[in-house]
Amino acid sequence: MLDAFSRAAVAADASGSFIGGDKLSALKAFVADGNKRLDAVKSISTSASCIVTDSVAGMICENTGLTAPGGNCYTNRRMAACLRDGEIVLRYVSYALLAGDASVLQDRCLNGLKETYAALGVPTGSAARAVAIMKACAVAHITGTNKRFGDTANNNLLDQGTSKDPAGCQSLASEASGYFDTVVSAIS
């Protein structure tokens, strides 16, 4: 944020003018978009543990052989590693969403992940399925369609009072979906 403001201040100073007009509108839009991004990341991060746990549980329900003896989630240690990996993926997707750029996801999370999973014998189809379930959960949290156990409160970004733009919520949900899709394609 400081970079965008610094650039505007330096440009105004160089021209000997005040920041106004289109430059001020651009800064307002930047702040508004930043607040929506913060709200989206907050909605994901406050439920990260549930998102990851539900995703891994959903993956296991679809493939019960994973918890059978010899399965990749059979021991507590393997299950903990699976949950840890899910948390790492979700954390880097939220970093990418906050920055509006997938480079941190590519550089810090996905670089060599498929090869590591192959070396460890982790079934990438199951990992990709868990990420797909995480995607659905995260998008539901961003858009407010995360109804669980008869919960009637609609707690999407619009109801939190900070983001008033339904198109912006959908846009961020779509962007987050793209980051999850990037993870799935990287490990498949």
- Is the residue at 29 inside a domain? no
178 is in an annotated binding site: no
Residue 32's pLDDT band, with cuts at 50, 70 and 90, is confident
pLDDT tens figures, 48-103 = 999 999 999 999 999 999 999 988 898 889 999 999 999 999 999 999 998 888 88
Who contacts 99 (Cβ-Cβ below 8 Å, separation ≥6)?
none
CA atoms within 13 A on the CB side of 85: 24
Who contacts 23 (Cβ-Cβ below 8 Å, separation ≥6)?
8, 11, 12
Residue 141 belongs to domain spanning: 34-187
84 is in an annotated binding site: yes
- Is the residue at 1 inside a domain? no
- Is the residue at 8 inside a domain? no
pLDDT tens figures, 139-152 = 999 998 765 433 43
| Contact in structure between 180 and 132 (CB atoms under 8 Å) | yes
- Is the residue at 55 inside a domain? yes
- Is the residue at 43 inside a domain? yes
24 is in an annotated binding site: no
**What CATH number does the domain containing 129 carry?**
1.10.490.20
- Of 124, 160, 130, 117, the closest CA to residue 142 belongs to 160
Task: Assign 177 to helix, strand or coil.
Answer: helix
Burial 118-157 (b: 16+ CB within 10 A, else e): eeeebbeebbbbbbbbbbbbbbbbbbbebeeeeeeeeebb
- Is the residue at 90 inside a domain? yes
| Contact in structure between 41 and 94 (CB atoms under 8 Å) | yes
Residue 2's pLDDT band, with cuts at 50, 70 and 90, is very low
88 is in an annotated binding site: yes
- Of 180, 184, 57, the closest CA to residue 117 belongs to 184
Question: Rounded distance, CA 68 to CA 136, Å?
Answer: 26
85 is in an annotated binding site: yes
35 is in an annotated binding site: yes
Q: Considering the chain, what is the average pLDDT of its residues? A: 85
- Is the residue at 63 inside a domain? yes
The residue whose two tokens read 């929506």 is 36
Mean pLDDT of 172-182: 96
Who contacts 69 (Cβ-Cβ below 8 Å, separation ≥6)?
none
115 is in an annotated binding site: no
Question: Rounded distance, CA 137 to CA 119, Å?
Answer: 29
For residues 103 and 157, the model is more confident at 103
Number of domains in the chain: 1
- Is the residue at 22 inside a domain? no
